[in-house]
Amino acid sequence: MRKKTQKQMPLTITSIDHPHAVELEGISRILDANPIIYDWVLQDLTRDVSRTDTGAEGMSAEQVLRAAIIKQMEGYSYEELAFHLLDSVCYRGFCRIGIADKGFQKSALCNNIKAISSETWEAVNRILVAYAQDKKIEKGKQSRIDCTVVSSNIHEPTDATLLWDSVRVLTRMLGQISERFDDSDIPFSDHTKRAKRRMLGVMNAKSKKARKKQYEDLLKVTHKTVNYAHNAVSLLETFPFKNPSLTMAAQGMAEELKEVIRLTLAVIDQTTRRVIHGESVPACDKIVSIFEPHTDIIVKDRRDTFYGHKVCLTGGCSNLITDCLILDGNPADTELTDQMLDRHKEIYGYYPLKVALDGGFASKGIKDVCFAKKRGLEEEEMCRSTWVYKRLRNFRAGIESGISWLKRCFGFARCIWKSHRSFKSYVWASIVSANLMTLARKQQV
- In a domain, residue 391? The reply is yes
- In a domain, residue 368? The reply is yes
pLDDT value, residue 6: 66
Higher pLDDT, 182 or 417: 417
- The average pLDDT across 161-170 equals 97
Higher pLDDT, 175 or 370: 175
Domain span at 354: 137-154+293-423
Percent helix, strand and coil across the chain, each rounded to 5? 55, 10, 35
Closest among 421, 408, 440 to 75, alpha carbons compared = 408
Task: Show the DSSP H helices in 75-138 as ranges.
Answer: 78-87, 89-94, 106-113, 118-134
Please name the residues in contact with 113: beta carbons below 8 A apart, sequence gap of 6 or more.
Answer: 64, 67, 68, 71, 78
Please name the residues in contact with 298: beta carbons below 8 A apart, sequence gap of 6 or more.
Answer: 149, 305, 306, 307, 308, 309, 310, 330
Same domain, 298 and 417: yes
- In a domain, residue 235? The reply is yes
Same domain, 377 and 408: yes
Same domain, 263 and 297: no
Q: CA 163, CA 170: separation in Å to the nearest integer?
A: 11
pLDDT 10s digits, 431-445: 999 999 999 999 986
Strand partners, 311: 148, 326
Provide the domain count of the chain. Answer: 3
Task: State the CB neighbour count (10 A cutoff) for residue 5.
Answer: 16
pLDDT > 70 fraction of the chain, expressed in percent and rounded? 86
pLDDT value, residue 361: 40
Task: State the CB neighbour count (10 A cutoff) for residue 47.
Answer: 9
Same domain, 406 and 330: yes
- In a domain, residue 127? The reply is no
Same domain, 84 and 52: yes
Same domain, 148 and 297: yes
- In a domain, residue 262? The reply is yes
